[in-house]
């Protein structure tokens, strides 16, 4: 056999080997892998981050509907500096001689809306009638303590007028020579039964 023929066979063998090694399907089969299979990275389950971003929006961040009102609207009537003379005190002179008393009232009532629309006094609380009633109570009671006067006035006002809450300040201007006045201030509300009847 000539050297030329041997060289030719070697070149063909090398060419055939190179061709087989460059064929990806053949290489895959030699490795035992299906040539039609494409490998993909498996998807990872989404796990909530233990420290979410500060700007992340959650259901808790969504605005809530405004809460329904739990109380009826309330307006106030003021009576300031109501003055009259009456028998009040524990000293002998106070039991004989009337002395001045000054009253301030804050009356919490139902909204003025209906009164504003109708402009009828019967749609609100008549402060003139309230003032007359307080004066009557003070003059008829001949109380020894200003605390008793205030308590009695609040009790009557809550019973006889459509008032939800009353704050009363009762001052005796001449009780102490060293002071411009002494007195008490109390706040009272309508009874739960009356409040329930009003809301019904």
What domains can you pick out in the chain, each with its CATH number? 75-189 (3.30.1130.10)
- Burial (CB count <10 Å: 0-12, 13-18, 19+), residue 69: exposed
- Burial (CB count <10 Å: 0-12, 13-18, 19+), residue 36: exposed
Of 177, 159, 161, the residue nearest 127 (C-alpha): 161
3-class secondary structure for 166-198? EEEEEEECCCCCCCCCEEEEEEEECCHHHHHHH
Mean confidence (pLDDT) of the chain? 80
**pLDDT value at residue 122:** 87
78-96 residue pLDDT tens: 999 999 999 999 999 999 9
Q: Is the dihedral of CA 77, 80, 86, 89 positive or negative?
A: positive
Q: Within 10 Å of residue 26's Cβ, how many Cβ atoms?
A: 13
Q: What is the DSSP letter of 90?
A: S
**pLDDT value at residue 171:** 98
* End-to-end Cα distance, the chain: 124
Distance CA 99, CA 97 (A): 6
Helices 146-160 & 127-141, crossing angle to 10 degrees? Answer: 140
Distance CA 191, CA 188 (A): 9
- pLDDT confidence band for 192 (50 / 70 / 90): confident
Backbone angles phi, psi at 140, to 5 degrees: -85, -25
User: What are 78's two structure tokens?
Assistant: 């003021």
25-76 residue pLDDT tens: 666 556 655 555 555 666 666 666 555 555 555 555 555 555 555 566 789 9
């Amino acid at each position: 056999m000539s050297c030329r023929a041997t060289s030719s066979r070697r070149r063909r063998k090398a060419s055939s080997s190179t061709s087989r090694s460059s064929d990806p399907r053949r290489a895959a089969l030699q490795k035992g892998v299906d040539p039609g299979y494409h490998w993909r990275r498996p998807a990872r389950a989404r796990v909530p981050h233990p420290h979410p971003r500060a700007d992340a929006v959650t259901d808790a961040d969504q605005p809530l509907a405004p809460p329904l009102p739990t109380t009826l609207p309330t307006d106030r009537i003021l009576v300031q500096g109501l003055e009259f003379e009456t028998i009040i005190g524990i000293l002998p002179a106070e039991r004989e001689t009337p002395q001045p008393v000054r009253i301030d009232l804050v009356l919490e009532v139902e909204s003025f809306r209906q009164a504003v629309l109708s402009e009828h006094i019967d749609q609100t609380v008549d402060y003139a009638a309230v003032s007359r009633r307080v004066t009557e109570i003070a003059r008829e009671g001949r109380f020894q303590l200003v605390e008793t006067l205030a308590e009695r006035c609040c009790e009557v006002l809550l019973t006889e007028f459509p008032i939800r809450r009353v704050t009363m300040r009762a001052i005796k201007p001449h009780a102490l020579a060293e002071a411009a006045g002494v007195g008490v201030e109390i706040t009272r509300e309508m009874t739960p039964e009356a409040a329930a009847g009003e809301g019904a």
